[in-house]
């Protein structure tokens, strides 16, 4: 009974046709054109720099997270105030910051002089406003020097490795062996005290920070798929570094830049306080603290207000740096 119910093969259907080996496609190595196409597709789909739309979305998300950070917003407002004072110093300062008045020596804050006067009768408010221009200028130029030199060295060392990496690493170790302020003092001492030499010294001192940061991030990024796809597609080393590695190591560099600006302002104030930075009678916050501390018992105002300006500027950059670090941290993204 079971044999009668089992399905029987149709004798007219015949066996399944056997494929002809000569007509089957061969699985040889892909052509260079196919590899190039895969490389370009990998760059577009692996988070490379050609994915412009995702990058715009991330940028908007960054501003949204920064706006939710109250401390970062407070730092931005303080920095905006300092920047406005620096840019519009000729219009905001009530008096000439270099004008002396022997009849108004060490005056306390009043309606005529809101922050008082210094030992030469100069208006402290005007000098603090003009000092903001010098401090931001020195900070911006010195950090730019450090970013350009340090990031270049770090990218080259991290990407090429080998002897180049070892050589750059040893030079950075030598620079790191010196305390920051001591190395800056030595460089300014050799070059001579001036504002330009101060910016060069601060830039050299902070170059290794960016070099190590860029090197470490490059070592991780160069192993990602979109970088390997760029190599397969035939892109040269300079193009790979500039277009595919640098944009992907920018986030930690941005955070470090905001923090380094505060350190550069402190370094400039320290060098000026020691007489190696901005030279009198130019209004610098560090120079004002240096000249005012000798008469602090008679009048504290020439020290208090420039010192407060330094604190606010440094605090602003630190708050912004912390906000950027939190906003760019993928672990904190909603």
Label each residue of 22-85 as H, E or C.
HHCCCCCCCCHHHHHHHHHHHHHHCCCCCCHHHHHHHHHHHHHHHHHCHHHHHHHHHHHHHHHH
pLDDT (average), residues 104-130 = 93
Question: What is the largest distance, in Å, between two alpha-carbon atoms of the chain?
Answer: 130
What is the tens place of the pLDDT at every residue in 245-264?
988 888 889 889 998 999 99
pLDDT score for 332: 54
Q: pLDDT: is 124 or 14 the higher one?
A: 124
Q: Please give the Cα distance from 164 to 155 (Å, whole number).
A: 11
pLDDT (average), residues 281-292 = 90
pLDDT (average), residues 193-221 = 93
pLDDT score for 260: 93
Architecture of 51-98+109-332 per CATH?
Answer: Orthogonal Bundle (1.10)
Q: Which of 314, 302, 233 is nearest to 267 (CA)?
A: 314
Query: Facing residues of 123 across strands?
Result: 117
Instruction: Give buried/exposed letters for 154-193 (b at 16+ CB in 10 A, else e).
Output: bbbbbbeeeeebeebeeebeebeeeebeebbbebbeeeeb
Q: Please give the Cα distance from 103 to 121 (Å, whole number).
A: 7
Q: Please give the Cα distance from 286 to 284 (Å, whole number).
A: 5
Query: Facing residues of 117 across strands?
Result: 123
The tokens describing 11, both together, are: 């004798």
What is the tens place of the pLDDT at every residue in 291-323?
888 888 889 999 999 999 999 999 999 999 998
Domain segments of the chain as ranges: 51-98+109-332
Q: Which of 255, 186, 187 is nearest to 217 (CA)?
A: 255
Q: How far is CA 331 from CA 64, 218, 326, in A?
A: 16, 20, 9
pTM of this structure:
0.77
pLDDT (average), residues 35-50 = 39
Q: Please give the Cα distance from 69 to 77 (Å, whole number).
A: 13
pLDDT (average), residues 198-213 = 94
């Amino acid at each position: 009974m079971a044999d009668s119910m089992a399905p029987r093969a149709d004798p007219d259907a015949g066996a399944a046709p056997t494929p002809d080996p000569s007509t089957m496609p061969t699985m040889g190595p892909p052509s260079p054109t196919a590899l190039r196409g895969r490389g370009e597709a990998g760059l577009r789909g692996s988070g490379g720099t050609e994915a412009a739309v995702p990058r715009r979305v991330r940028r908007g998300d960054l501003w949204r997270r920064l706006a939710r950070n109250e401390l970062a917003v407070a730092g931005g407002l303080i920095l905006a105030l300092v920047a406005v004072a620096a840019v519009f110093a000729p219009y905001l300062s009530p008096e000439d910051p270099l004008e002396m008045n022997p009849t108004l020596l060490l005056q306390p804050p009043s309606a005529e002089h809101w922050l008082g006067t210094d030992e030469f009768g100069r208006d402290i408010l005007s000098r603090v406003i003009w000092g903001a221009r010098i401090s931001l200028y020195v900070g911006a130029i010195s950090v730019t020097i450090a970013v350009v030199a340090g990031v270049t060295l770090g990218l080259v060392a991290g990407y090429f490795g080998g002897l180049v990496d070892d050589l750059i690493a040893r030079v950075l170790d030598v620079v790191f062996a010196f305390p920051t302020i001591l190395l800056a003092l030595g460089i300014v001492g050799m070059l001579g005290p001036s504002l330009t030499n101060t910016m060069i010294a601060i830039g050299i001192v902070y170059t290794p920070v960016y070099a190590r940061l860029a090197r470490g991030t490059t070592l991780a990024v160069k192993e990602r798929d979109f970088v390997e796809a760029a190599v397969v597609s035939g892109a040269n080393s300079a193009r790979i570094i500039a277009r595919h590695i640098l944009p992907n190591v920018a986030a930690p560099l941005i955070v470090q830049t905001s923090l380094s600006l505060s350190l550069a302002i402190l370094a400039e104030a320290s060098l000026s306080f020691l007489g190696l930075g901005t030279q009198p009678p130019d209004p610098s916050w560090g120079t004002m603290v240096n000249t005012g501390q000798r008469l602090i018992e008679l009048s504290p105002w020439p020290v208090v207000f420039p010192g407060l300006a330094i604190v606010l500027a440094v605090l602003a950059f630190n708050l912004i740096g912390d906000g950027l670090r939190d906003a760019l941290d993928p672990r904190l993204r909603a």
